[in-house]
Amino acid sequence: MLKELKEVRSFRAAEEVMHMVVTVAGALGLDDIKSVGEQFVRNDQINQAYDMPQLMSRLVERTSDVKGSREAWVAAVTDYRERYNPDIDPAGTTATKTSWPNSESDRGQRPGSVPVRPGR
Residue 115 lies in a domain: no
pLDDT recorded at residue 102: 43
Could you list the residue range(s) of the whole structural domain that residue 86 is in? 2-106
Q: Are 46 and 8 in contact (CB under 8 A)?
A: yes
Residue 8 lies in a domain: yes
Instruction: Enter the pTM of the model.
Output: 0.71
Q: pLDDT of 17-63, one tens digit each?
A: 999 999 999 999 999 999 999 999 999 999 999 999 999 999 999 99
Residue 33 lies in a domain: yes
pLDDT beyond 50 at 9: yes
**Mean pLDDT over each residue of the chain, to the nearest integer:** 81
Q: pLDDT of 71-117, one tens digit each?
A: 999 999 999 888 887 676 666 544 343 334 444 444 444 444 555 55
Residue 21 sits at the vertex; the CA angle it makes with 73 and 11, to the nearest 5 degrees, is 90
The total number of structural domains that make up the chain? 1
Residue 40 lies in a domain: yes
Residue 119 lies in a domain: no
Q: pLDDT of 51-66, one tens digit each?
A: 999 999 999 999 999 9
In the three-class reduction of DSSP (H, G, I as helix; E, B as strand; rest coil), residue 13 is classed as helix
Residue 62, phi-psi category: left (phi > 0), alpha (psi -120 to 50), beta (remainder): alpha
pLDDT beyond 90 at 11: yes
Residue 111 lies in a domain: no
